Structure formats: C-alpha cells, structure tokens
Structure 1
C-alpha cells in the first residue's frame, strides 16, 4: 500500500528476476468499475518483466484493494494519483504508460500534463478525454447507477445466470462503487482536453482496438491528430481485447518500448 497524500493505493511492482537492471519502466493503468490491476497481473505484466522491464501496476482509487473515498473521482483526481504514486515510488525517468479503457484516458492525460515524464503511451480500447468522451461516459455511468446500483439484487441475479458468478461478483463491487461514491457524477464532469492539448502530446502513441469494437472507428482520427501515432486493430475481438488477445497486445507494447528507449538505458 502506498500513501500518496490523498489516498492509499494498492500497488504491485515486478521486474527482471535474473539480476539484470530494468531497462525501462512501464506503468499499467486499468479501467473502470469491474477492473483492477489483476487484468494486467494475469496477462501482460509477467511477459513485460521477463523482457527486462520494471513493471508498475496499481488499483485506481475506489477499485481493487485501494482506498475508497466517498468523493474525488474526476479524471484530474486520477491523474494526480498517478503523478503522486510515481513520486512516492521514486520513479524519476520517463515511463511507458499503458492504459486499458478508462486507464488509457488517465495515461494520456498524464502525458499531456507531464510530457517530459512520458516515453510513450499505449491506449488499449481507449481514447483521450474529449467532450464526446465525457458525454459517452456519462451515459454509461448513468446506466450503471440506475440499472445496477439502484436495482442490485435483481441485476446481479440476472448477471449470475447469464454471465456467470465471477462476473456477478465484479458487478456487485461495481454497484457498491457507483452507489457509495461520487464517481458516476465526477467522471462526466471532468475537465477534458482541447484539440491543441491532444496534438501537443509528441511521444510515440500506440492505439490498440478490437476489430468488432465501436472504438475501432477512432483509429483514423487518432492517426490524423497525433504526429507519432500507430494504430493496431485486432480482428474478432471487442472491448476485452487485452484479456482475450494478451499475447498480441503485449507484443505490440514491447515492440513500441524497444523502438523508443535508448539502447543500454537503465531505469531510475
């Protein structure tokens, strides 16, 4: 557990096990509500560590084992948490940021705020914070609050019957988070980025989408907007592409890290 000054965050950090010094730091940021650092711990994180990277993953405030304050869930709050966490961990060099879903929005926001600290950004089924993003998240979170949090027993029973007990367990946790905190109001009200702030992100950006996801339509927009953006669309997958195609996603991230980091550089 790491105390950032605003919230206690649950962190896992792994690296090379053969005595080698890590060549770079990769920071993994997960998505909203039903997600946690486990989505990385059991997919790409071990491969990143085996490849010689220092891997930092953490539960966002309110998620997993991190502290759950009643309020303070705007995008800027989450970016503040990331900045404070890296400071507390003593990570001083530029980092490779990887974000899944909402985690990608947090990662990109950090890169926009602290460009000198971002070696690269990978967006997995994600996008920068725009006015359209805020409207979309508002609709999603409103449905979570009205259909899940306020009707939890029936909703969770339906999910257990049709999606399995593990998904129902995650949904129960999401319902508590939406009901007991201001997350559902805070995120749609977050400050968003202007187009100028988005285009000012000059580090390499990798955007990975499932071919059957509606977010895949963002690929041409991102490539046109960002000077160093590469997009990858993985056929046959939707929003869960990180879990369902972990080897492919991880391979793309490792290729980006290897292309970006200086030869022989060591992480600090």
Structure 2
C-alpha cells in the first residue's frame, strides 16, 4: 500500500507490476466508481489479468473513498481530474497511459482525455458516459436520493438493505451515507463543468465502451460511435451496472484487446517501422 500526496489530499494507491519479471509493455490506470466503490473492484477482477499480460497497473481510491483522504469539499469532476493529473506526476508516469473507468470513474477518464490528450493512449468506459448536461442532472437525482433516503434515514435504510440485499452491501451503503453527510459531494458533482458534443468529438484516441445488456446506459452505444472517430462499443447480454464484477473475464478481455491494438498503432514493430516501402 502507498499514499500519494496530491497537494490537496492523500490518495491510496496500489500498483501491480507485470508478472514473472516481464518488461512493462504499457501502463493502465484504473479509476473506480462513486460512493460504494473503491480500487478493490479492480484488484479482485481485471487487474491481475492485466499484470499477467505485461501491463503495469495503477489503481487508486478516489478522494473520499476507500483509504484515501476525505476533504470536506472539492468533489467536482475537475477536482477528480486534478487528482489523476497529480497522481501521474507524483508517480512519474511520463508516457501515455491507458485509462479504464467504471461508472463515475469512466466519466473522470473521458474528461481527462479531453483535457490532456497527449497523456492518454486509450480510454475504456465500463458502464459509463461523458459528462454532459444529462449526466449532471442524473447524478444530481441519484445523490439527492442518497441524501434523503439513506443519509437522513440511515437506520431504516440500512436495515432494509441488510435484510433484502446483504450485510456487505449495507456496510458499503453506510460508508456512502457518511460521505454524503460529511462532505459537499452531493452538491459538487451535479455542479461540475460538462462537455458539449464538440469537446466530446475531440477525443481521437481509441475508445472502448462496455455496457451490460440490461442497463439503460447501453442505449448510448450508437451515440458514442457516431461522435468519436475511433470508438467501439460492446454490450454484454444478461448484465446490468455491475458488469465489471459479474463478467470480469469478458470485460477484461475486451480491454486488453484495445490496449494491445492501441499500442501496436502507436509503436509499430521495429522491422516494419524501418522497412523499405518498396
């Protein structure tokens, strides 16, 4: 375990080196989702397979989540992108990285690709979307619901979750309620700056968008493909928003294919790069 000081907060970071002493072929930075999520959702799913494939993996807990610091304020999308930028700088990751984002983490990853295209080799969105006005309105509704139904009526809500879901889910929900109650996150995220379609179109690196077939986000697939110059969408039948955990092999396989394709496009084999075109 390592802690990285961004200057604004401290982020809990885990790194996995390629297994067996293999050289690093690429670096993937994995960004998790909101409230009940942490880097553990990657550590126990796709991260080991990425390391086995020769990829250096960087995972971190977003501010307010997991073992990272919990400042009272500063939870807009730009703050999350600032943290990602500081993390790459502190870890001295200089080359373009492959960003993988689940849910809110994908929104962070996509926004960072808009902001710093030279630092991003590819973006993989898992059950996620760019930050649009519709996204901000939806997150506002979700966070208000957490505030009213969970943070303000915590005992009853947690009892219901424990009875009808699981004790583990109830523990996660309790942490989410504490975060909403103790910080400005419920106000900050809906007030984040959003992207117009022109800014979304500016992302030229390869983009992969994965959705559960039973998720309402799957409807975004044609829209994303129409906007982005290099975008592939995959819908995994029979899954909803938890597709990363429930179908990690499928999700990880598609992301690895994208990373390998993007790296081949950026770094052709030496014998091909120097070959006589005649």
Which deviations, in whole Å up to 9, do the C-alpha atoms of 1:221-247 show, x marking residues without a partner? Answer: 000011100000000000000000000
TM-score, reference length from structure 2: 0.94
> 4+ runs of 1 displaced by more than 3 Å?
none
Quote the residue 1:89 is aligned against: 91
Q: In the TM superposition, what is the alpha-carbon distance from 1:263 to its structure 2 partner?
A: 4.8
Number of residue equivalences? 265
Q: In the TM superposition, what is the alpha-carbon distance from 1:17 to its structure 2 partner?
A: 2.4
For residues 127-206 of structure 1, the aligned pairs below 5 Å read: 127-206=129-208
Rg bigger for which structure?
A: 2
Q: Name stretches of at least 5 consecutive residues in structure 1 with no aligned partner.
A: none
Greater relative contact order, per chain length (Cα 8 Å cut-off, separation 6+): 1
Please point out which of 248, 256, 259 is paired with 1:246: 248
State how far apart, in whole Å, the 1-side matches of 2:28 and 2:192 are.
26
Which deviations, in whole Å up to 9, do the C-alpha atoms of 1:108-161 show, x marking residues without a partner? Answer: 000000000110000100000000000000000000011000111110010000
Which deviations, in whole Å up to 9, do the C-alpha atoms of 1:161-217 show, x marking residues without a partner? Answer: 000100000000000001100000000000001211110000000000000000000
Quote the residue 2:63 is aligned against: 61
Alpha-carbon RMSD: 0.9
For residues 113-124 of structure 1, the aligned pairs below 5 Å read: 113-124=115-126
Q: Name stretches of at least 5 consecutive residues in structure 2 with no aligned partner.
A: 271-278
Quote the residue 1:256 is aligned against: 258
Q: In the TM superposition, what is the alpha-carbon distance from 1:264 to its structure 2 partner?
A: 6.5
Which deviations, in whole Å up to 9, do the C-alpha atoms of 1:79-133 show, x marking residues without a partner? Answer: 0000000000000000000000000000000000000011000010000000000
Secondary structure at the aligned position of 1:10 is classed as strand
